A and B are shown apart, each in its own frame.
Chain A
Amino acid sequence: MPKFLRTLLLARQHAAFPVRLNQRRIYILPTRSGLVFGFFLLAMLVAAVNYTNNLAFLLTFLLAGIAIISSIHAYANLAGLILEHGRLSPAFCGEEAQLQLFFRAAGRERRALQVKIGKAGADLSLTTAEGRAVDLLVPVTRRGLLPLGQVTISTRFPLGLFRAWSLLILPVTGLVYPRLVPAKASNWAMAQGDGDGGDGGAAPGMEFGGVRPYQPGDGLSRVSWKASARGLGLFVKEYGSVLVQTLYFEWNEVHASGYEDRISRLAGLVHAAEQMGVLYGLSLPGQTISPGSGAAHAHRCLEALALMPEAE
């Protein structure tokens, strides 16, 4: 394809919400089975001509008419469809981000639409006045801001002889958190050592945030289920002098093998600390996030990590 044509087509694909599919955005071409059907029609026509059989002519033309009209149906199945809204939820790198697209039928029934982005796809049918969200899981492989890329909405309805499709580049940008690397015990120690030291009698470095690893003999009522849920073993609540501990995760003090690994490990620490429900702060080159907790705080920290500049 010539370059200018490609640019032209790409320019057409950029869309702003709400996107209404119209003739400028919809392409339609016969499918391979459509071409095979055409070949069958040709064979029928030859038979009709050869036997000068008018009923055979009539049937052949009826089938040709059906094929042609089916292209209108395929087009109409997409035309006027409204893509009202799209949202890409944040996800950790290496996992799948959830893309939610909200479609509105806008006055006509829509059958067997296929929404596709990359390798992820979903099917969708809508009744006349229905609005419905479609969820797609998009694999993400790079931290940072993720422009959605090209979304294909296509249909082969009604007879599979034609495929109508629309290519859209939507104004949806997702955030990809860094790849998660589980927190190391030594890094926990480092974070904890920065705060007020624990003097609760437990082994140094193993006590943090009011919980400590489970030891035989601890009563079940003391198990912190919330802290244990991350899968790193059982934790029990510490009752003692230390009530709430504040953790500081420092860019320079984290043991890591490289720039990206450092980011990943910090992300792992943030994630684990959030899961345990303790207060934590983050200090990165150029910015510091004061301690806090909760989903919004975690997002702030992870976003800061995700948006760290690329390594030199």
Chain B
Amino acid sequence: MIHDKRRFSVVLLALALAFAPHLARVSLFVSLFVCASWGYGLGMQYRGWPVPPRWLRVALALGCAALVLSVHGRSFGRDAGVDLLSLMLGLKVLESKSVRDLLALLFLAYFVVVTNVLYSQTLVMSMYMLFSVMSVVTAHLHMFSAETRICPDLRRGALLMVQSIPLAFLFFVFFPRLQGALWGVHDERDEGVSGFSETLEPGSVSGLSLSREVAFRADFSGTVPERNALYWRGLVLDTFDGVRWFKSLPFVRIPSDETGPPPGSVSYSLTLEPHGNRWVFSLDRPVQSPHGTVLREERTLESLRLLTSRTRYVLLSLPVLADRTPRPGPEWVGLPADGNPQARALVQQWIRDGLDSRGMVDAILRMFRDGFLYNLRPGPSQGDVIDHFLFVSRQGYCEHYASAMTFLLRLAGVPARIVVGYQGGEQNPLGGYLIVRQSDAHAWVEVWQEGEGWIREDPTSVVSPQRLSSGVEAVLSQEAGALPSRGARMLGQVRRFFQWGWDAANNGWNQWVLGFGHERQRGLWQRLGFDPRTRGGAGKLAAVLAAGLGVIFSTILVIKLRTRRNVEDMALVLYDRFRQKLQHLGVSLNPAEGPLDYARRIEAEKPDLSRPAREIVDAYVAVRYGERSDRTELERLVREFTRRW
């Protein structure tokens, strides 16, 4: 164990690397304090600045702790803990004079690395975490290796880490996961919340979200349905107040259909990025509610808790569900008493024309097809937003069409509602799953038809069929009007390929590392053939774990104990054989004697052996210390010598 300037700097560097992601997260005064005290610590080592007196350090510690407590108040959770940890890092550097202090800093550095992952668990961050563990291990090794350069310790640190991966993997698979936290964890959300909201406002300025951020990923166990059929239900909006659509009807739960997969059903798993609300997206229309969710009467899934972490569901949907629900109540045709007079007049005309509910739907779609434009930025409108859309601007995107259609149908007394969710998705050929992004957000209409129940009608599809077949981006690029050159297209292909690869890596990481929870663990154990709930299963589990540990441990031991037999060592072995032979012949062995002295001594003690001995010693010196890397000559000489004498 050595404590000197260089080792101090190496430890501080490793600490800084481990702490770097925290720099922007901790309170400002904490990061200032940490930087200042590290700077002073360096000054202590290199410039001989005095160690701050004990009373000052104690005062600093108490003052900073009080400040942290006052900033965080009673909610002592992750953030406050990291603030305190950072303060300790700063203070410890000020008093690090002995080897033990330096070791304490290293251990704190390991801890800091682990606290980082409470904030971010992305693949990139994980790689950085691995890198910082590596640097801390190197600094740690450097204290104990008596090495004057850092490079050999870097190599040793990497080796140590690589060798410990199998053990880490074994622990990871077999350490039992609990289903909840040990004690209350404050909901300190850090992941982005989607641009999706629970209201729909056709006249608002905010256009459709064009974010490429991933909303969820879906992995189908069978064939993936046609893109046109990929309607992902989020929630149903049932009430219009003249400006916006929202959800106001009370929650009614319907039982999950657990009778087994009905014919024609689609099974898939869906990994939802955290969005901070309760809705769970599912392919139109879900028939089962997985653990932790409930099925609402309007056939949407809702989580029992807020979705603040990535969650995976296994879902079952039936694309053609004729549920033949009876005529719904008057609330499904409810509208504000006045407003949008032109729309009201139009519907009155259609009623006078004797259109029934089906005819009404056809009339609306026909109207949209002839003379309406799909436009993602139609501009804001005020007052009678439906009239403005239908008779003035005559352009808009899914929200406008869905809201106008629902409005018209309800005016005619036909029960109708708006469904918001996503439509489509991008198939990732490298991962075999579907990526649904925020830009795939969509709104459509459901109409109640006598004898059939709620039927999906998508007015956007008649205005812009391309929106459904190729997605928003295709529509946008067409709007831009420029056909990309061949080079640009190829470049785009390459870029997309890398994006797919990166997304597949992230998805694998999310699924198999981050998503390896209680359920997945149990599933894996059961697939391996032991059920921990039974007594025999638990025993088997323990046996497998012990066997795995034993195998890994002994393998690494064997690898580690393997001696390196290179040319030099073989030369040494041959030389030893020669010396032992001579010992039998009466020339005593002196291990500290160099080969040339040895040869001289042989000459003096056994003149008759001097010639062959000199040859062997010369050959040995040439291989061991000289240029020659071929040991056959030495081998031949030694063999001849041992045979002859």
Q: With A and B bound together, what is the CA distance between A178 and B113 in angstroms?
A: 62
Shortest Cβ distance from B549 into A: residue? A68
B563 within 8 A of A: yes
* A66 partner, pick from B147, B161, B513, B557, beta carbons under 8 A: B161
Stretch at the interface among B136-144, B334-342, B452-460, B464-472: B136-144
A131 within 8 A of B: yes
Q: With A and B bound together, what is the CA distance between A54 and B169 in angstroms?
A: 12
A284 within 8 A of B: no
CB pair B121–A65 under 8 Å, yes or no, is no
A112 within 8 A of B: yes
CB pair B126–A129 under 8 Å, yes or no, is no
Q: With A and B bound together, what is the CA distance between A111 and B149 in angstroms?
A: 13
Q: Which of B122-161 contact A (CB under 8 A)?
A: 126, 129, 133, 137, 140-141, 143-147, 156, 160-161
CB pair A54–B517 under 8 Å, yes or no, is yes
Q: Which of B547-603 contact A (CB under 8 A)?
A: 553, 556-557, 560-561, 563-566, 568-569, 572, 590-592
Q: A129 to chain B: closest CB distance in Å? A: 5
Q: With A and B bound together, what is the CA distance between A53 and B517 in angstroms?
A: 9
A4 within 8 A of B: no
Which of chain A's residues have a CB closer than 8 A to the CB of B513?
54-55, 58
Q: With A and B bound together, what is the CA distance between A48 and B111 in angstroms?
A: 12
Q: With A and B bound together, what is the CA distance between A53 and B515 in angstroms?
A: 9
CB pair A128–B172 under 8 Å, yes or no, is no
Q: B509 to chain A: closest CB distance in Å? A: 9
**What sequence of 0s and 1s flags, for each residue 263-298 of chain B, a beta carbon within 8 Å of any chain A beta carbon?**
000000000000000000000000000000000000
CB pair B114–A129 under 8 Å, yes or no, is no
**What sequence of 0s and 1s flags, for each residue 516-533 of chain B, a beta carbon within 8 Å of any chain A beta carbon?**
110000000000000000
Q: With A and B bound together, what is the CA distance between A158 and B145 in angstroms?
A: 6
CB pair B114–A66 under 8 Å, yes or no, is no
Q: Which of A45-93 contact B (CB under 8 A)?
A: 46-66, 68-70, 72-73, 75-76, 79-80, 84-85
Stretch at the interface among B181-189, B245-253, B375-383: B181-189
Asked, given contacts A59-B129, A59-B133, whether A76 binds B561 with beta carbons under 8 Å apart, the answer is yes
Which of chain B's residues have a CB closer than 8 A to the CB of A106?
563
Which of chain A's residues have a CB closer than 8 A to the CB of B516?
54
Which of chain A's residues have a CB closer than 8 A to the CB of B180?
52
CB pair A65–B183 under 8 Å, yes or no, is no
A200 within 8 A of B: no
Stretch at the interface among A35-43, A232-240, A246-254, A266-274: A35-43
Q: With A and B bound together, what is the CA distance between A57 and B164 in angstroms?
A: 14
CB pair A64–B171 under 8 Å, yes or no, is yes
Q: Which interface class (under 10, 10 to 19, 20 to 34, 35 or more) fits A?
A: 35 or more
* B163 partner, pick from A43, A47, A52, A69, beta carbons under 8 A: A69
* A111 partner, pick from B117, B147, B163, B572, beta carbons under 8 A: B147
Q: With A and B bound together, what is the CA distance between A104 and B180 in angstroms?
A: 56
CB pair B168–A62 under 8 Å, yes or no, is yes
B103 within 8 A of A: yes
Asked, given contacts A56-B114, A76-B561, whether A156 binds B144 with beta carbons under 8 Å apart, the answer is yes
A33 within 8 A of B: yes
Q: With A and B bound together, what is the CA distance between A86 and B556 in angstroms?
A: 33
A107 within 8 A of B: yes
Q: With A and B bound together, what is the CA distance between A139 and B404 in angstroms?
A: 102
Q: B392 to chain A: closest CB distance in Å? A: 53
Q: With A and B bound together, what is the CA distance between A49 and B118 in angstroms?
A: 11
Which of chain A's residues have a CB closer than 8 A to the CB of B177?
52
Which of chain A's residues have a CB closer than 8 A to the CB of B572?
129
* B111 partner, pick from A44, A52, A131, beta carbons under 8 A: A44
Q: With A and B bound together, what is the CA distance between A270 and B180 in angstroms?
A: 86
Asked, given contacts A54-B513, A56-B118, whether A62 binds B560 with beta carbons under 8 Å apart, the answer is no
Asked, given contacts A51-B185, A128-B564, whether A60 binds B114 with beta carbons under 8 Å apart, the answer is yes
A177 within 8 A of B: no
Asked, given contacts A69-B164, A79-B561, whether A133 binds B592 with beta carbons under 8 Å apart, the answer is yes
* B118 partner, pick from A53, A102, A133, beta carbons under 8 A: A53
The residue among A55, A104, A156 with the most chain B CB atoms within 10 A of its own CB is A55
Shortest Cβ distance from B561 into A: residue? A76
Which of chain B's residues have a CB closer than 8 A to the CB of A50?
181-183, 185
**What sequence of 0s and 1s flags, for each residue 263-295 of chain A, a beta carbon within 8 Å of any chain B beta carbon?**
000000000000000000000000000000000
Shortest Cβ distance from A59 into B: residue? B114
Give the 7 A-B CB pairs with smallest separation, nearest first.
Answer: A107-B563, A65-B164, A65-B167, A61-B171, A55-B117, A61-B168, A112-B146
A-B contact pairs, 18 of them (CB 8 A): A50-B183, A51-B185, A52-B178, A52-B517, A54-B172, A58-B172, A59-B114, A62-B168, A64-B171, A65-B163, A69-B167, A70-B160, A72-B556, A72-B557, A106-B563, A128-B564, A159-B144, A160-B103
A51-B185, A69-B160, A128-B569 provided; 16 other pairs, C-beta below 8 A? Answer: A44-B114, A52-B177, A53-B121, A59-B133, A61-B168, A65-B167, A72-B553, A72-B560, A73-B560, A76-B561, A85-B590, A125-B146, A128-B564, A128-B566, A131-B591, A159-B137
